[in-house]
Protein backbone atom coordinates (compact mmCIF):
# COMPACT_ATOMS: atom_id res chain seq x y z
CA UNK A 1 0.00 0.00 0.00
CA UNK A 2 2.91 2.27 0.82
CA UNK A 3 4.50 1.71 -2.57
CA UNK A 4 1.21 2.37 -4.28
CA UNK A 5 0.82 5.67 -2.44
CA UNK A 6 4.18 6.72 -3.69
CA UNK A 7 3.31 5.79 -7.26
CA UNK A 8 0.12 7.81 -7.04
CA UNK A 9 2.07 10.74 -5.72
CA UNK A 10 4.59 10.44 -8.53
CA UNK A 11 1.78 10.21 -11.04
CA UNK A 12 0.22 13.43 -9.76
CA UNK A 13 3.59 15.12 -9.72
CA UNK A 14 4.17 13.97 -13.31
CA UNK A 15 0.80 15.36 -14.31
CA UNK A 16 1.61 18.69 -12.72
CA UNK A 17 4.98 18.93 -14.43
CA UNK A 18 3.34 18.12 -17.76
CA UNK A 19 0.65 20.72 -17.15
CA UNK A 20 3.25 23.38 -16.34
CA UNK A 21 5.17 22.50 -19.47
CA UNK A 22 2.04 22.91 -21.58
CA UNK A 23 1.21 26.25 -19.96
CA UNK A 24 4.69 27.56 -20.66
CA UNK A 25 4.49 26.43 -24.27
CA UNK A 26 1.05 27.99 -24.69
CA UNK A 27 2.22 31.27 -23.20
CA UNK A 28 5.11 31.28 -25.68
CA UNK A 29 2.78 30.51 -28.59
CA UNK A 30 0.63 33.54 -27.73
CA UNK A 31 3.38 35.84 -29.00
CA UNK A 32 3.04 34.64 -32.58
CA UNK A 33 -0.67 33.77 -32.57
CA UNK A 34 -1.89 37.29 -33.32
CA UNK A 35 0.57 37.86 -36.16
CA UNK A 36 -0.32 34.49 -37.65
CA UNK A 37 -4.05 35.22 -37.46
CA UNK A 38 -4.92 32.23 -35.29
CA UNK A 39 -7.66 34.09 -33.41
CA UNK A 40 -11.23 34.41 -34.58
CA UNK A 41 -14.36 35.96 -33.17
CA UNK A 42 -17.57 34.09 -32.50
CA UNK A 43 -20.89 35.64 -31.57
CA UNK A 44 -23.55 34.36 -29.20
CA UNK A 45 -27.12 35.71 -29.40
CA UNK A 46 -28.86 37.46 -26.51
CA UNK A 47 -32.62 37.18 -26.85
CA UNK A 48 -35.62 38.91 -25.38
CA UNK A 49 -36.83 36.74 -22.48
CA UNK A 50 -40.49 36.89 -23.52
CA UNK A 51 -40.40 36.81 -27.32
CA UNK A 52 -37.15 34.91 -27.77
CA UNK A 53 -36.17 37.42 -30.46
CA UNK A 54 -32.56 38.30 -31.16
CA UNK A 55 -31.59 41.56 -29.45
CA UNK A 56 -27.80 41.63 -29.43
CA UNK A 57 -24.73 39.41 -29.43
CA UNK A 58 -21.72 38.84 -27.20
CA UNK A 59 -18.35 38.64 -28.95
CA UNK A 60 -16.27 35.67 -27.73
CA UNK A 61 -12.72 35.11 -28.88
CA UNK A 62 -11.45 31.72 -30.11
CA UNK A 63 -7.89 30.50 -30.60
CA UNK A 64 -7.31 27.98 -33.34
CA UNK A 65 -3.94 26.66 -32.22
CA UNK A 66 -1.93 25.02 -35.04
CA UNK A 67 -1.21 21.82 -33.09
CA UNK A 68 -3.60 21.88 -30.12
CA UNK A 69 -6.79 22.76 -31.97
CA UNK A 70 -9.29 25.07 -30.29
CA UNK A 71 -8.00 26.43 -26.98
CA UNK A 72 -10.58 27.81 -24.54
CA UNK A 73 -10.44 31.52 -23.67
CA UNK A 74 -10.69 30.42 -20.00
CA UNK A 75 -7.22 28.99 -20.56
CA UNK A 76 -5.50 31.61 -22.70
CA UNK A 77 -7.04 34.92 -21.57
CA UNK A 78 -5.42 34.62 -18.10
CA UNK A 79 -2.09 33.79 -19.79
CA UNK A 80 -2.44 36.80 -22.09
CA UNK A 81 -3.11 38.92 -19.01
CA UNK A 82 0.06 37.62 -17.36
CA UNK A 83 2.26 38.37 -20.36
CA UNK A 84 0.67 41.68 -21.34
CA UNK A 85 -0.42 40.17 -24.66
CA UNK A 86 -3.98 41.00 -23.64
CA UNK A 87 -3.36 44.59 -24.75
CA UNK A 88 -2.70 43.90 -28.46
CA UNK A 89 -5.12 40.96 -28.39
CA UNK A 90 -7.84 43.04 -26.73
CA UNK A 91 -7.35 45.77 -29.31
CA UNK A 92 -7.68 43.24 -32.13
CA UNK A 93 -10.85 41.77 -30.54
CA UNK A 94 -12.47 45.20 -30.33
CA UNK A 95 -11.54 46.04 -33.93
CA UNK A 96 -12.73 42.71 -35.28
CA UNK A 97 -16.05 42.86 -33.41
CA UNK A 98 -16.75 46.40 -34.68
CA UNK A 99 -15.85 45.56 -38.26
CA UNK A 100 -17.92 42.39 -38.16
CA UNK A 101 -21.02 44.25 -36.96
CA UNK A 102 -20.66 46.85 -39.73
CA UNK A 103 -20.42 43.96 -42.18
CA UNK A 104 -23.44 42.31 -40.55
CA UNK A 105 -25.57 45.46 -40.95
CA UNK A 106 -24.52 45.89 -44.57
CA UNK A 107 -25.40 42.28 -45.46
CA UNK A 108 -28.63 41.85 -43.49
CA UNK A 109 -30.02 45.36 -43.18
CA UNK A 110 -30.32 44.87 -39.40
CA UNK A 111 -28.39 46.80 -36.77
CA UNK A 112 -27.21 44.45 -34.05
CA UNK A 113 -25.59 45.70 -30.84
CA UNK A 114 -22.42 43.83 -29.86
CA UNK A 115 -21.04 43.34 -26.36
CA UNK A 116 -17.25 43.01 -26.18
CA UNK A 117 -15.48 41.57 -23.13
CA UNK A 118 -12.79 43.91 -21.86
CA UNK A 119 -10.12 42.64 -19.50
CA UNK A 120 -9.63 44.86 -16.44
CA UNK A 121 -6.01 45.45 -17.43
CA UNK A 122 -7.12 46.71 -20.81
CA UNK A 123 -9.94 48.85 -19.42
CA UNK A 124 -7.73 50.59 -16.84
CA UNK A 125 -4.79 51.21 -19.15
CA UNK A 126 -4.05 54.74 -20.32
CA UNK A 127 -5.19 55.11 -23.88
CA UNK A 128 -8.11 52.71 -23.71
CA UNK A 129 -10.65 55.44 -24.40
CA UNK A 130 -8.57 56.62 -27.37
CA UNK A 131 -8.46 53.03 -28.66
CA UNK A 132 -12.24 52.76 -28.47
CA UNK A 133 -12.81 56.09 -30.21
CA UNK A 134 -10.28 55.23 -32.89
CA UNK A 135 -11.80 51.80 -33.48
CA UNK A 136 -15.32 53.20 -33.79
CA UNK A 137 -14.19 55.89 -36.22
CA UNK A 138 -12.14 53.48 -38.30
CA UNK A 139 -14.85 50.81 -38.51
CA UNK A 140 -17.78 53.19 -38.88
CA UNK A 141 -19.79 51.41 -36.17
CA UNK A 142 -22.24 53.60 -34.28
CA UNK A 143 -21.24 53.97 -30.61
CA UNK A 144 -24.83 53.06 -29.75
CA UNK A 145 -24.18 49.56 -31.07
CA UNK A 146 -21.15 48.94 -28.89
CA UNK A 147 -21.34 47.68 -25.35
CA UNK A 148 -18.35 46.87 -23.15
CA UNK A 149 -18.48 44.04 -20.60
CA UNK A 150 -16.25 44.43 -17.58
CA UNK A 151 -16.11 42.39 -14.39
CA UNK A 152 -15.99 43.83 -10.92
CA UNK A 153 -12.25 43.11 -10.80
CA UNK A 154 -11.84 46.53 -12.46
CA UNK A 155 -12.63 47.91 -9.00
CA UNK A 156 -9.71 46.21 -7.23
CA UNK A 157 -7.54 49.33 -7.26
CA UNK A 158 -10.34 51.70 -6.38
CA UNK A 159 -13.58 52.87 -7.90
CA UNK A 160 -12.80 56.51 -8.72
CA UNK A 161 -10.98 56.13 -12.06
CA UNK A 162 -13.46 53.45 -13.11
CA UNK A 163 -16.46 55.68 -12.45
CA UNK A 164 -14.83 58.52 -14.34
CA UNK A 165 -14.06 56.38 -17.39
CA UNK A 166 -17.53 54.86 -17.40
CA UNK A 167 -19.06 58.33 -17.30
CA UNK A 168 -16.94 59.47 -20.22
CA UNK A 169 -17.90 56.37 -22.21
CA UNK A 170 -21.54 56.90 -21.38
CA UNK A 171 -21.38 60.51 -22.57
CA UNK A 172 -20.12 59.17 -25.89
CA UNK A 173 -23.05 56.79 -26.11
CA UNK A 174 -21.02 53.66 -25.25
CA UNK A 175 -22.62 51.52 -22.59
CA UNK A 176 -20.87 49.38 -20.02
CA UNK A 177 -22.30 46.18 -18.56
CA UNK A 178 -21.16 44.54 -15.35
CA UNK A 179 -20.26 40.95 -16.18
CA UNK A 180 -20.23 37.87 -13.91
CA UNK A 181 -22.23 39.89 -11.44
CA UNK A 182 -22.18 38.52 -7.90
CA UNK A 183 -19.22 36.21 -8.33
CA UNK A 184 -16.61 38.73 -7.23
CA UNK A 185 -15.31 40.22 -4.04
CA UNK A 186 -17.85 42.93 -3.43
CA UNK A 187 -21.34 43.07 -4.74
CA UNK A 188 -24.18 45.39 -4.13
CA UNK A 189 -22.90 48.59 -2.57
CA UNK A 190 -20.76 49.91 -5.44
CA UNK A 191 -23.58 49.47 -7.93
CA UNK A 192 -24.95 52.76 -6.65
CA UNK A 193 -21.93 54.64 -7.97
CA UNK A 194 -21.19 52.86 -11.23
CA UNK A 195 -22.85 54.28 -14.35
CA UNK A 196 -23.55 50.86 -15.84
CA UNK A 197 -26.70 50.15 -17.81
CA UNK A 198 -26.83 46.41 -17.38
CA UNK A 199 -25.75 43.55 -15.15
CA UNK A 200 -25.07 40.03 -16.34
CA UNK A 201 -25.78 37.19 -13.95
CA UNK A 202 -23.19 34.45 -14.22
CA UNK A 203 -24.32 31.01 -15.31
CA UNK A 204 -23.17 29.50 -12.01
CA UNK A 205 -25.95 31.58 -10.39
CA UNK A 206 -28.55 30.94 -13.03
CA UNK A 207 -28.10 27.20 -13.27
CA UNK A 208 -28.36 26.86 -9.50
CA UNK A 209 -31.79 28.44 -9.15
CA UNK A 210 -33.67 25.30 -10.10
CA UNK A 211 -32.35 23.38 -7.12
CA UNK A 212 -31.38 26.11 -4.67
CA UNK A 213 -34.18 28.34 -3.43
CA UNK A 214 -31.80 30.74 -1.71
CA UNK A 215 -29.95 31.29 -4.96
CA UNK A 216 -33.29 31.88 -6.65
CA UNK A 217 -34.05 34.52 -4.04
CA UNK A 218 -30.72 36.26 -4.71
CA UNK A 219 -31.33 36.24 -8.47
CA UNK A 220 -34.81 37.66 -7.95
CA UNK A 221 -33.45 40.37 -5.65
CA UNK A 222 -30.76 41.37 -8.15
CA UNK A 223 -33.32 41.64 -10.96
CA UNK A 224 -35.65 43.79 -8.86
CA UNK A 225 -32.83 45.97 -7.58
CA UNK A 226 -31.33 46.47 -11.05
CA UNK A 227 -34.71 47.49 -12.45
CA UNK A 228 -35.18 49.99 -9.63
CA UNK A 229 -31.84 51.50 -10.66
CA UNK A 230 -32.90 51.62 -14.34
CA UNK A 231 -30.58 48.82 -15.34
CA UNK A 232 -31.46 45.78 -17.39
CA UNK A 233 -30.48 42.22 -16.52
CA UNK A 234 -29.06 39.39 -18.62
CA UNK A 235 -29.07 35.77 -17.46
CA UNK A 236 -26.30 33.60 -18.90
CA UNK A 237 -26.21 29.84 -19.32
CA UNK A 238 -29.84 29.16 -20.26
CA UNK A 239 -29.88 25.52 -21.31
CA UNK A 240 -33.57 24.61 -21.05
CA UNK A 241 -37.10 25.84 -21.71
CA UNK A 242 -37.76 25.58 -17.95
CA UNK A 243 -34.98 28.05 -17.20
CA UNK A 244 -36.17 30.42 -19.90
CA UNK A 245 -39.70 30.36 -18.46
CA UNK A 246 -38.47 30.73 -14.92
CA UNK A 247 -36.37 33.81 -15.77
CA UNK A 248 -39.09 35.33 -17.95
CA UNK A 249 -41.44 34.97 -14.96
CA UNK A 250 -38.87 36.75 -12.83
CA UNK A 251 -38.81 39.62 -15.39
CA UNK A 252 -35.22 39.08 -16.41
CA UNK A 253 -34.82 41.17 -19.60
CA UNK A 254 -32.43 39.22 -21.79
CA UNK A 255 -31.33 35.61 -21.94
CA UNK A 256 -28.23 33.96 -23.33
CA UNK A 257 -27.41 30.30 -23.54
CA UNK A 258 -27.05 27.14 -25.52
CA UNK A 259 -30.81 26.57 -25.40
CA UNK A 260 -31.16 29.46 -27.88
CA UNK A 261 -27.84 29.41 -29.69
CA UNK A 262 -24.20 28.62 -29.11
CA UNK A 263 -21.48 31.08 -30.05
CA UNK A 264 -21.17 31.02 -33.86
CA UNK A 265 -19.13 32.46 -36.70
CA UNK A 266 -20.15 35.73 -38.33
CA UNK A 267 -21.13 33.79 -41.46
CA UNK A 268 -23.58 31.67 -39.44
CA UNK A 269 -24.92 34.69 -37.60
CA UNK A 270 -25.78 36.37 -40.88
CA UNK A 271 -28.16 33.57 -41.84
CA UNK A 272 -29.71 33.01 -38.41
CA UNK A 273 -33.39 32.26 -39.09
CA UNK A 274 -34.68 34.14 -36.05
CA UNK A 275 -33.39 37.34 -37.64
CA UNK A 276 -35.85 37.18 -40.50
CA UNK A 277 -38.65 39.74 -40.32
CA UNK A 278 -41.79 38.40 -38.68
CA UNK A 279 -39.90 36.03 -36.43
Q: Using the rule CB under 5 A, is 117 a contact of Ca ion? A: yes
Q: Using the rule CB under 6 A, is 246 a contact of ligand C2E? A: no
Q: Using the rule CB under 5 A, is 180 a contact of Ca ion? A: yes
The interface with ligand C2E within residues 112-171 (CB under 6 A) comprises 117, 119
Instruction: Work out which of 30, 93, 145, 194 binds ligand C2E, going by CB under 6 A.
Output: 93
Nearest approach in angstroms of CB 224 to ligand C2E is: 22
Give the nearer residue to Ca ion in terms of CB position, either 87 or 116: 116
21-26 contact pairs (CB < 8 A, 24+): 23/79, 26/65, 26/68, 26/71, 26/75, 26/76, 26/79
Give the nearer residue to ligand C2E in terms of CB position, either 9 or 212: 212
The interface with ligand C2E within residues 28-47 (CB under 6 A) comprises 44
CA–CA separation, 154 vs 70, rounded Å?
28
Q: Using the rule CB under 6 A, is 85 a contact of ligand C2E? A: no
Could you tell me which of 260, 228, 224 has the C-alpha nearest to residue 241?
260
Cα dist. 274→38, 225, 248 in Å? 30, 31, 19
Cβ(98)–Cβ(146) under 8 Å? yes
Q: Using the rule CB under 6 A, is 237 a contact of ligand C2E? A: yes
Cβ(90)–Cβ(122) under 8 Å? yes
Pairing of strands 69-71, 114-117: unpaired
Instruction: Work out which of 239, 248, 272, 275 binds ligand C2E, going by CB under 6 A.
Output: 239
Q: Using the rule CB under 5 A, is 147 a contact of Ca ion? A: no
Nearest approach in angstroms of CB 136 to ligand C2E is: 17
Instruction: Work out which of 30, 46, 61, 209 binds ligand C2E, going by CB under 6 A.
Output: 61
Give the nearer residue to Ca ion in terms of CB position, either 104 or 181: 181
87-100 residues labelled b (16+ CB within 10 A) or e (exposed) = bebbbebbbbbbbb
CA–CA separation, 212 vs 207, rounded Å?
9
Q: Residues in contact with Ca ion, total (CB under 5 A)?
A: 5
Give the 3-state secondary structure of residue 164: helix
Binding site for ligand C2E (CB under 6 A): 44, 59-61, 72-74, 77, 93, 117, 119, 179-180, 203, 236-239, 256-258, 263
Binding site for Ca ion (CB under 5 A): 117, 149, 179-180, 202
Amino acid sequence: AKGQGRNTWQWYRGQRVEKNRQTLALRQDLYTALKEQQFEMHYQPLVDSLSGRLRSVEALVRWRHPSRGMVSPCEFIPLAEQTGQIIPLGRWILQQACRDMVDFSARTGHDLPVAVNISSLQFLRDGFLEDVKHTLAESGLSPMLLELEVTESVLLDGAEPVIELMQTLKAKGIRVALDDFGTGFSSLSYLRDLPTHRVKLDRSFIQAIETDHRMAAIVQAVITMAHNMDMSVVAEGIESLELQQDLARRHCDLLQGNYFARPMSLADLKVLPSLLPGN
